[in-house]
Amino acid sequence: MCGALMSFVKCPSVDGRAIFVKKTPDIRIYHNVVLDGWALYDSQQRVIPDSSFLRGGNLQSVPQPAFFTKLNPFSSRSNVPNADMLWIGPIHLHFGHFIVSVLARLWPLLSSIPPTWQLAYAGGDKHDLFKIEHIRECFNALGISPERLVRVAEQGTHIPRIAVAEPSFIENHSVHEEYFLTLKMIANMIQGNVPDYEISEQPVYFSKENLKSGVRKVINEHDLTSYLSNHGIKIVFTESMPFAEQIRLVTQHRNIIGFSGSAMHLTGFSDNRRICTLSHSIKASSNQALIDMVTGNRNLHLFPKDDLRNLGRTENFHEILEIKNPLEMGQNLLNILNGFVQGSHPKAQYFPDQPRSVSPLALNDEPFGENVAIKGVATQSSIYTDNAHHNNTPEGAISGKLTGIYQCQTTRQDKPWWQLDLQNTHLINEIRIYNRCDVAKERLTDMSLLLSIDGQQWDEVVSRKLGDAEIGGFDGEPFRYQPTEQIVARFIKIMIPREEWLALDQVEVFGESLLENVNTEEMPDVEGQLKVKYFSMLSIPMWNLANH
């Protein structure tokens, strides 16, 4: 395998949460509410959480509202008409926040809210809003005219009656199907339905090189796009295109590439696309992952780990990046895209369409992939036999059920261990270890975590000490090993480096197999070895942990 291709790594997790909520968002009617900041408060002066701008893994509101307000809706000097009204929240002018947050509140317009209802919002003058093209085009597509909008501008404004809908998309947290249905409606009104035979297979690259301000900029991106353009990739500058043309772009092209950012949110207006998102860090954008989940788009999130140099910040950008070798990066990217577009390796990251973790809580920085531990074979150094009425054998730790007590346990011995064989080599995105929470939690405190390709040579990736914080489990605080490098292993071992009992409730391993079965009849036997095919996947270094 060409060593240069090892500079791209697959992002193992997202920055935040990525929850696909399989239910219709709530909508409720409130009477006698008052505006304070960006949020509404009910007649008891309590905050209405769904009315504020929520984002992040812990659902922070921006700005953070107080739980109670001192403003009394019944003593307000400012009122809005006593009419049927839907709250659509603060109107963000920024393209990305508008796409994922403002449009997330408009799903009731598809069915439950009649066109006679007015729409209350916090923000600038409504006629100024319609001067901004992406706002005007989206609102027009949904039947929203300036006359239908009611601006709630003054703090303490009393609203006699209003419906507040749960957002169908919460940034860096969760998404409902209604979000995609809203975007699909907008796309259909602007573009119309595009038959599959009209969709171009030519890859399109979303370039940021002409941006004058923003979160981050790659100063020599032009060198990369020139190389890609010379090799058949279509280069586009979405910020200079009419919004309707941006919609046509994502509905008429199947393969889309670009650095993560607001422009890539346009992929939410189409479904079943192949996307390659270049991340600025080892963690993928959870907003982009949420869009992928609800649209069914297959997204390969790559981090050019060794190809980017951080040059600091400027007045117009929070982060300035430089590609060390644009030509080499372009070559590597084309090789990866070739396999991805053809449906071979590398595969897109994904979240399984079912509960995959025993954790009682949703955790931040969710890993991609399924829990592959339940398909493995577990062993341990010894088996505790004094409690015949309780499971003590190693497979208990991969039962897929969290109990709060131990499901496997060794005898008291020197350096007890529990080991898992995943049956083939896997890309490891995260390992979660759930401790017993009934008694003796401290026994696992100084555990070591070791990984191996062959079960002979081991690499210690975690070494805890006595005195470290206790490891939880059923209480929602398991130990989480989250690699900051790309990790490949087949065997996983948990060990206590002293004389002790080793007891575990559950162990979860999130990742993906790097093994694919092939037609063994066409392959000669090689010294009795298993007839399988390994994929190094161009973007994935087959890193032998024992030799790193």
Burial class (CB in 10 A: 0-12, 13-18, 19+), 118: middle
Q: Please indicate, yes or no, if residue 328 is contained in any of the structural domains.
A: yes
| Residue 61: band (very low, low, confident or very high) from pLDDT cuts 50, 70, 90 | low
Residue, of 393 and 536, whose pLDDT is higher? 393
Q: Please indicate, yes or no, if residue 356 is contained in any of the structural domains.
A: no
Span 279-296, pLDDT tens digits: 999 999 999 999 999 999
Query: Same domain, yes or no, for 163 and 32?
Result: yes
Taking the C-alpha atoms of residue 451 and residue 82, their distance in angstroms, rounded to an integer, is 65
Beta strands 158-165 and 85-90 are: parallel
Q: Please indicate, yes or no, if residue 364 is contained in any of the structural domains.
A: no
Taking the C-alpha atoms of residue 8 and residue 323, their distance in angstroms, rounded to an integer, is 13
Query: Same domain, yes or no, for 382 and 531?
Result: yes
Q: Please indicate, yes or no, if residue 346 is contained in any of the structural domains.
A: no
Query: Same domain, yes or no, for 103 and 46?
Result: yes
User: CB neighbours (10 Å) of residue 406?
Assistant: 26
> Are the C-beta atoms of 340 and 348 separated by less than 8 Å?
yes
Taking the C-alpha atoms of residue 231 and residue 74, their distance in angstroms, rounded to an integer, is 66
CATH of the domain at 266: 3.40.50
Distance of CA 410 to the CA centre of its chain: 37
Structural domain harbouring 525: 370-547
Span 228-277, pLDDT tens digits: 999 999 999 999 999 999 999 999 999 999 999 999 999 999 999 999 99
pLDDT at 539: 36
Taking the C-alpha atoms of residue 176 and residue 168, their distance in angstroms, rounded to an integer, is 5
Query: Same domain, yes or no, for 149 and 239?
Result: no
With CA atoms as reference, report the closest residue to 308 among 338, 284, 328, 337: 328
pLDDT above 60: residue 540: no
Query: Same domain, yes or no, for 322 and 390?
Result: no
> Are the C-beta atoms of 10 and 300 separated by less than 8 Å?
yes
Query: Same domain, yes or no, for 199 and 276?
Result: yes
With CA atoms as reference, report the closest residue to 174 among 61, 356, 25: 25
Taking the C-alpha atoms of residue 15 and residue 281, their distance in angstroms, rounded to an integer, is 9
With CA atoms as reference, report the closest residue to 257 among 290, 240, 279: 279
Query: Same domain, yes or no, for 222 and 300?
Result: yes
Collapsed DSSP state (helix, strand, coil) of residue 26: coil
Residue, of 55 and 74, whose pLDDT is higher? 74
For residue 323, give the H/E element and its range: strand 317-323
pLDDT above 70: residue 548: no
Q: Per the structure block, which two tokens stand in for 247?
A: 């919609």
pLDDT at 530: 29
Q: Please indicate, yes or no, if residue 312 is contained in any of the structural domains.
A: yes
Cis peptide before 346 (omega within 30 of 0): yes
> Are the C-beta atoms of 99 and 105 separated by less than 8 Å?
no
Q: Please indicate, yes or no, if residue 402 is contained in any of the structural domains.
A: yes
Collapsed DSSP state (helix, strand, coil) of residue 422: strand
> Are the C-beta atoms of 255 and 204 separated by less than 8 Å?
yes
Query: Same domain, yes or no, for 163 and 199?
Result: no
DSSP 8-state class, residue 253: B
pLDDT above 60: residue 6: no
With CA atoms as reference, report the closest residue to 308 among 282, 284, 334, 331: 282
With CA atoms as reference, report the closest residue to 379 among 397, 358, 362, 364: 397
Q: Identify any residues that bridge with 512 across adjacent strands, giving them in sequence order.
A: 427
Which residue has 């303490």 as its token pair?
Answer: 156
Q: Please indicate, yes or no, if residue 17 is contained in any of the structural domains.
A: no
pLDDT above 50: residue 546: no
Out of 148, 167, 186, pick the residue that ends a domain: 167
Query: Same domain, yes or no, for 395 and 523?
Result: yes
Number of domains observed in the structure of the chain: 3
Query: Same domain, yes or no, for 385 and 517?
Result: yes
Taking the C-alpha atoms of residue 448 and residue 325, their distance in angstroms, rounded to an integer, is 39
Q: Please indicate, yes or no, if residue 246 is contained in any of the structural domains.
A: yes
Give the residue-averaged pLDDT of 505-514. Answer: 96
Query: Same domain, yes or no, for 388 and 505?
Result: yes
Query: Same domain, yes or no, for 302 and 443?
Result: no
